[in-house]
Structure 1
Amino acid sequence: MDSFLSLFDPNNCNDSADDFAIGNLNNQKALPPEPQVGNIEYKLKIVNPTNQRFEHLVTQLKWRLREGNGEAIYEIGVEDSGILAGLSQWDMTASLQTLQQMALKLGATTTILRERTLDNGRSVAEVLVRKIPDDQNNIEVRVAVLGNADAGKSTLLGVLTQGSLDNGRGRARLNMFRHLHEIQSGRTSSISHEILGFNSQGQPINYSYSELITAEEICDSSTKLVTFLDLAGHKKYIRTTIQGLSGYSPHHAMLVISSTAGVVGMAHEHLAIAIALNVPFFIVITKIDLVSPTNTLQSLESFLKQVGSRRVPLVIKSLDDVITAGANQLTENVVPIFCVSSVSGEGLELLLKFLHVLPPGISAKEKERLEQESPEFQIDENFKAGDVGQIIGGLLTKGVITEGMQMQIGPQKDGSFQNVMVKSIHRNRVPCRMVRAGQSAALCLNSYIRGLRNGMVLLKADSSARGCLFFQASVSVLFHATAIYQGYQTTVHIGNIRQTAVVVGIFPSNCIHTNERASVLFKFKVHPEYVTVGQRLLFREGAAKGIGEITQVFPLPYKPESE
């Protein structure tokens, strides 16, 4: 839904023929009718409600918060039909006070995002109501950071999470690197996690918030936590980048482009992958202190249309643009574009405001449904920590895992699973007792695992799961120079799985071309994996790319230990 204040603010209008805007909305005097579902609520006014009416309003707010996974947007001075009626100053003040009382009743906070005066002299306001769900420490949003090598991704993250500007020679990015060769080359080769918090008033909480602040204190002080996945930009690390997008299931992707280089290199590839995986994205143009972003902005318009994404770019120039972009990020085809400098700090405040209002990418109903399923933890990292034991890191895609839970891990080479117990859990480097669906964590197991590798899964102990070598998928080829036939080998990405697979059969014909769809039977080349029907699949080899969905799995037969 378009945020209503942009409808009548003339400063938000862009008359460029390139349509760098959501649309010519400033002449409209109404919003679409109030949505029946979702986290947005219209209220003409809420002045001196009776006790019964007040309780009803609180119940309504509770439902909207649940729909928004802890966040709700209230449009005050707007009728249910969407007409912008506006309120007198007295009625607006009283309505905002009532909304604040409603929020206090639920333990929530209110933040006025914007307030404007209409032509009739009356005012309208947009208010963010936020309440951390009872089963969470904060509202978490995962953002994957993409872009060409040397675009300034790690430097930008260093500035956002450390709270100090760069010196123009890469000082801010040093804290982002995990390996010596990354420091020496200045290029990210692995997936690193960084956090940025926001308090109830929208102020950023990073490592400059107070002296010697720790990651645990950032988490404890934040009502909203943005977890950045810093992905590699160089071509030779493309498989690691795809693994980050596929395995960690980010809610949003941030594509970073350098104004000095423009839209070149892996930027096209990264955007195509984000679109193929249905990840909402926004764009940040860096280094505007060196080169004006005008040419890059012009290239981006044709760039977005060439990909076939049918996205409309929106250059963020004001706070109104920020709120409009945040409201459209999940439901519309708008691509917000920020122009920033990590050296001068220009544009960073608007980017921080956007991250503050960025919605979680999963609805409360979907989250609740996933939590009720049997737990499935995808393993992306594994290591041994001295006397502590076996540590695994990854994403819990389904269910709930608690300390002391009996689990099973696999598949092994024969497709079997090994029984283990979860000794302890850490999230964002902080110990906790529970991890829920959609959250990433590090788990300590009670024993070392033979043949442990990334791509395995952790399941409930009483599950009768088996690994498989053969699986069938409905596949669409995005690009291939010739045709794909039986015997074709490619790297497939399924969640956290990355392995070479061989095309065993193609149905109903014996080949498949670009822009064609077919049912394809694959065989993992090296070892069995645990996959399920409905999982998304992405394959890539050179310039060839394809996407699909798994339709059938053929588990390996069970072999008793006596054999």
Structure 2
Amino acid sequence: MNSGLVGLFGESDSSSDEETQLQDSLPPEIEKGNIEYKLKLIDPSHIRFEHLVTQLKWRLQEGLGEAVYEIGVADNGYLFGLTEEDLEKSMETLKMMAERLGASLSILRERTINNESNGLIKKSLEVLVRKMPEDKEFTRMRIAVLGNIESGKSSLISVLTHDELDNGNGRARLNLLRHTHEIQTGHTSSISNEIMGFNNSSEVENFGNCRTAEEILEKSCKLITFIDLAGHSKYMKTTIKGLTTYTPDFTMLVINANNGIVGTTKEHLGFSIALGLKIFLVINKIDQVSETWLGQIVTSVEEFIKLSCNKIPFRVKTDEDAILSAQYLTDPQVCPIFLTSCVNGTNLDKLKKFLNILRPLALNEKENESSQSTEFQVDDVFFKKKPGHILSGLVLSGNIAEHDKMLLGPFKSGKFVPVEIQTIQRYRVPCKMVCSAQSAAVSIGNPENIKEKIRKGMVLVNPKLNPIGCLEFEAEIFVLFHASQLTIGFQATVHIGNVCQTAVIVRMDKQEVKTNEKAKVVWKFKSRVEYIRPKSRLLFREGTSKGMGEVTAINPFNPNEVKKFKADNESLTSIKKKKKKVK
């Protein structure tokens, strides 16, 4: 663990004089992935054409329905280029290949190559091939939007998803704010989701040209869900819960051009890095500052990213930069930076182009998740008389279909109760089945065997898993910041996926652990039994103390301990009441 990450939560003296910049030339072609280099595609034979179609199909599978073809480029990455006639013939062949698979083309960029020896001017093209999967399931991607208050997060999301610029007084954010106090203060305090899509032709589909979410889903081949999180420090618990519960693919960190990296920005950046998320920055509200001041802010942000985060800042100035940054973001060291305005729309087109090309999680990761037994985390609970209990959340692994038999829990007793899935909806659209990494709402009716309250933080699992709840679990932790040291008895709010509960350290392998140190500890939940999985990442926070870690093992909950657990909690409550009376 590097000291730069610790510096995002406390003080850091880390420094580096290393000059970092992206390569100017294309890297050699690799066998895996969704990028294919072709020097030319002119009049292929029948056998050759069939081979090319098979190759395109492979690249589309690697890219979850998206492939990028570099025409006029050799396998070693050298830009040879083609004449206008050869380029036109190559594009005709690529178009026939795409039509064969039901895909469509859109040109991302055109490069001009000057040959000084003979004076010929040649060109190369970068082409995006996009195909709606056979199961009609679009490519999906979740982006967590973080940043300090007044950075313009909600306004930026609203402009992207509604195609309506802000008036400079925050009118755009009214499309997202859910509560009266949010509208009055202009500060987000809850978690909200907004969607935008891209169709086969790389055109934006959002509420600017679609009336309903259903229409956006119908027209889109790629769907992006923005998770709008709170920027105020008093809502940090909600923000961390959004990061751990919704498992975003990327973090979009929004910075106000008026004041740069201030407030909770460092903490948001630190938690994103701790969770292993890939990050890109948006310096917003550039219409409110002078060019001189903006230059100073951008320079300070770039230096901070280099020194404190050990990342390569890449300022996006052109459409070509936007394409490059989307491709280079697969490298966790690269951090693109966009300069935008929600009032005059500056550089929003480049941000949309970047989002259009950006790839979600790798296909093999999703396949591994889909092949496992079903787990569905419950993020919210609703009740209506007709459908009964409605559970919304995320499919962590496996698939869920109507009439599947599942186990719901754990309840206070530590037990899991059998239930049946009755109906399923995605983005308010009924469906028969949902797969791994998809968000959904499922109804389970009114099971007579459920006597206790259904709550957030529970899970629906396949009975074959034989799920076991726990009160205690073992973990390896790393202290990001603490004013002194952690010892046995330290209490903190622990976040593990959709689990959010106060826990206390009951055992550890050393007497104390300080900032930038590791330890093996045993946590014990204070209130109720939870279901957690080994190897899950965790974050803990109490006041200014912050840390991260990984669950290494769970201590199965013994139902015979229920009475003892209740007695301990009752005695603790009585002690607190006596202390209040004394005061």
Q: 1:534 — aligned with what?
A: 535
The AA in structure 1 aligned to 2:190 is: S
How far residue 546 of structure 1 moved from its aligned partner, in angstroms, is: 1.6
Aligned partner of 1:97 among 87, 92, 98? 92
- Name the structure 2 match of 1:226: 224
From 479, 482, 495, the equivalent of 1:480 is: 482
Distance (whole Å) between structure 2 residues aligned to residue 279 and residue 242 of structure 1: 13
Report sequence identity in percent: 49
- Looking at structure 2, the residues matched to 393 and 21 of structure 1 have their Cα atoms a distance apart, in angstroms, of 44
Aligned pairs for 1:437-456 (under 5 A) are 437-447=436-446, 450-456=452-458
Matched with 2:526 is 525
Q: Which amino acid aligns with 2:371?
A: Q
Deviates more, 1:482-491 or 1:384-393: 384-393
Amino acid paired to 1:224: K
The aligned counterpart of 2:554 is 553
Partners of 2:556 and 2:64 lie apart in 1 by 36
Larger helix percent: 2
Structure 2 counterpart of 1:392: 391
In 1, distance between residues paired with 2:162 and 2:499? Answer: 32
1:251–1:473 CA distance, 2 compared to 1 (3 A): same
Letter in 1 for 2:260: G
| Deviation per residue, 1:18-43 (Å, 9 max, x gap) | 999833x44xxx53221121111111
Superposition pairs of residues 109-120 of structure 1, within 5 angstroms: 109-120=104-115
Letter in 2 for 1:166: D
Check 1:89–1:332 CA distance in 2 against 1; reply closer, same or farther (3 A cut).
Answer: farther
Instruction: Write the letter of the residue equivalent to 2:454.
Output: L
Q: How far apart are residue 560 of structure 1 and its match?
A: 13
SS at match of 1:85: coil
- TM-superposed CA distance for 1:388, in Å, is 2.4
Residues 22, 334 of structure 1: 8 Å contact kept? no
- Contact persistence 1:21–1:315 (CA under 8 A): no
Counterpart for residue 370 of structure 2 = 371
Letter in 2 for 1:370: E
Structure 1 residues 492 and 481, CA, compared in 2 at 3 Å: closer, same or farther?
same
Task: Tell me if 1:54 matches 2:49.
Answer: yes
Q: Measure, in 1, the Cα distance between the counterparts of 2:264 and 2:288.
A: 21
Unaligned runs of 5+ in 2: 1-15, 116-120, 563-583
Deviates more, 1:293-302 or 1:107-116: 293-302
Q: Look up the equivalent residue of 1:75 and give its one-letter code.
A: E
Alignment partner of 1:200: what SS? coil
Q: Distance in 1 between matches of 2:333 and 2:125?
A: 25
- Asked if the contact 1:414/1:556 (under 8 Å) is kept, the reply is no
3-state DSSP class of the match of 2:150?
coil
**Alignment of structure 1 residues 322-471 onto 2, 5 Å:** 322-360=322-360, 362-447=361-446, 450-471=452-473
The DSSP-based 3-state class of the residue aligned with 2:353 is helix
Q: Secondary structure at the match of 1:52?
A: helix
Q: Per-residue displacement from partner, 1:127-161 (whole Å, max 9, x unpaired)? A: 11112333353111111110111111111111111
Query: Residues 481-534 of structure 1: CA distance to partner in whole angstroms, max 9, x if unpaired?
Result: 222111111111111111111111112x22222222221111111111111111
Q: Please state how far the C-alpha of 1:385 moved relative to its aligned partner.
A: 2.7
User: What amino acid maps onto 1:150 in structure 2?
Assistant: E
CA contact (8 A) 1:18 1:301 kept: no
SS state at 2:422 partner:
strand
Indicate conservation of the 8 Å contact 1:148/1:266, yes or no: yes
2:50, 2:346 → 1: CA distance?
45
Match of 2:73 among 78, 91, 99: 78
Partners of 2:206 and 2:187 in 1: how far apart? Answer: 23
- State which of 209, 234, 237 in structure 2 corresponds to 1:236: 234
Please state whether the residue corresponding to 2:453 is helix, strand or coil: coil
Rg larger in 1 or in 2? 2
What is residue 7 of structure 1 aligned with on the other side?
A: none
Distance 1:177 1:364 in 2: 34
Q: 1:18 to 1:152 in 2, by over 3 A?
A: farther
Deviations 1:168-204 (A, max 9, x none): 1211111101122212221111110100111222221
* 1:262 equivalent in structure 2: 260
What residue is the counterpart of 2:571 in the other structure? none
Local SS of the residue matching 2:166: coil
1:43 aligns with: 38
- 2:462 maps to amino acid: K
Any conservation in 2 of the 1:506–1:512 contact (CA below 8 Å)?
no
Contact 1:395-1:441 at 8 Å conserved across structures: yes
Measure, in 2, the Cα distance between the counterparts of 1:122 and 1:526: 69
Bigger shift: 30-39 or 516-525?
Answer: 30-39
1:202 paired with 2:197, answer no
Q: Is the contact made by 2:155 and 2:170 (CA closer than 8 Å) also made in structure 1?
A: yes
Amino acid at match of 1:253: T
Amino acid at match of 1:543: T
**Letter aligned with residue 110 of structure 1:** L
1:376 and 1:135 mapped to 2: Cα distance? 22
Cα distance, 1:19–1:193 mapped onto 2, change above 3 Å:
farther
Aligned to 2:504: 502
Letter in 2 for 1:368: E
1:558/1:63 Cα in 2 relative to 1: closer, same or farther (>3 Å)?
Answer: farther
RMSD, aligned α-carbons: 2.0
Hey, what's the Cα distance between the residues in 2 that align with 1:443 and 1:137?
A: 18
Does structure 1 conserve the Cα–Cα contact (< 8 Å) formed by 2:278 and 2:332? Answer: no
Residue type of the alignment partner of 1:341: S
Please give the alpha-carbon distance, in whole angstroms, between the structure 1 residues aligned to 2:534 and 2:40: 49
Alpha carbons of structure 1 residues 454 and 321: separation in structure 2 relative to 1, 3 Å? same
| Contact kept in structure 2, 1:20 and 1:313, CA below 8 Å | no
* Structure 1: distance between partners of 2:480 and 2:199: 43
AA of the residue aligned to 1:542: G
Letter in 1 for 2:463: A
Partner of 2:158: 158
1:143–1:253 Cα contact (<8 Å) kept: yes
Amino acid at match of 1:429: R
What is aligned with 1:181? 181
Residue 306 of structure 1: CA displacement? 4.4
Which residue identity lines up with residue 237 of structure 1 in the other structure? Y
Q: Which amino acid aligns with 2:338?
A: F
**Contact 2:325-2:336 within 8 A present in 1 as well:** yes
Task: Give every structure 1 segment of 4 or more consecutive aligned residues whose post-TM-superposition deviation is greater than 4 Å.
Answer: 17-21, 558-561
The code of the aligned residue for 2:269 comes to L
Q: Which residue of 2 aligns with 1:9?
A: none
Q: Deviations over 1:221-245 (max 9, x none)?
A: 1111110001011111101111111
1:31 to 2:26 alignment: yes
User: How many residues in Structure 1 have an aligned counterpart in Structure 2?
Assistant: 536
Tell me, in whole angstroms, the C-alpha distance in 1 between the residues paired with 2:531 and 2:381.
17
Work out the CA distance in 2 between the residues paired with 1:355 and 1:21. 24
**Gaps in structure 1 of 5+ consecutive residues:** 1-16
TM-score (norm 1): 0.92
From the superposition, tell whether residues 533 and 334 of structure 1 become closer, same or farther in structure 2 (CA, over 3 Å).
same
Alpha-carbon contact 2:132-2:200 (below 8 Å) kept: no
